[in-house]
């Protein structure tokens, strides 16, 4: 396994949660796992799924954060595009300069 040098963050509507998680759990590139949390997207680019979200000005989303190597991150994005080609998924990658654990 390569050194984990990339943080991949995915943002997507809650309705996609099960499909995204199933794909990630089955992925061979995730050695350590990932984190999942609920977030609110704000701003002009926010895509509202419900009338309540539009009124509140907050689009409810799920956020997944994964630490892995760049090749693995690229594969996750490629696989997601194959199984959910037109899904409202936003992603970004940032460099990881150090990754460790106290265990």
Q: Which of residues 14 and 48 earns the better pLDDT score?
A: 14
Q: Which two tokens stand for residue 99?
A: 């990754």
pLDDT of residue 82: 95
pLDDT mean over 23-35: 88
CB atoms within 10 A of CB 8: 22
What single string gives the DSSP state of each residue in 26-81? Answer: H-TT-SS--EEEEEEE-STT---SSHHHHHHT-EEEEEEEEEE-HHHHHHHHHHHH
Average pLDDT, integer, range 84-93: 93
What's the distance, CA 52 to chain centroid? 24
| 8-state DSSP, 85 | T
Mean pLDDT of 24-51: 85
Task: Report, as an integer, the average pLDDT of 25-48.
Answer: 85
């Amino acid at each position: 396994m390569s050194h984990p040098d990339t943080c991949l963050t995915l943002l997507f509507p809650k309705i996609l949660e099960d499909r995204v998680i199933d794909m990630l759990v089955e992925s061979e590139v995730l050695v350590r796992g990932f984190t999942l949390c609920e977030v609110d997207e704000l701003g002009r680019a926010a895509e509202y799924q419900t009338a309540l979200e539009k009124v509140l000005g907050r689009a409810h989303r799920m956020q997944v954060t994964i630490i892995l190597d760049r090749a693995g991150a690229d594969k996750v994005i490629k696989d997601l595009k194959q199984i959910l080609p037109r899904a409202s998924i936003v992603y970004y990658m940032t460099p990881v300069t150090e990754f460790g654990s106290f265990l």
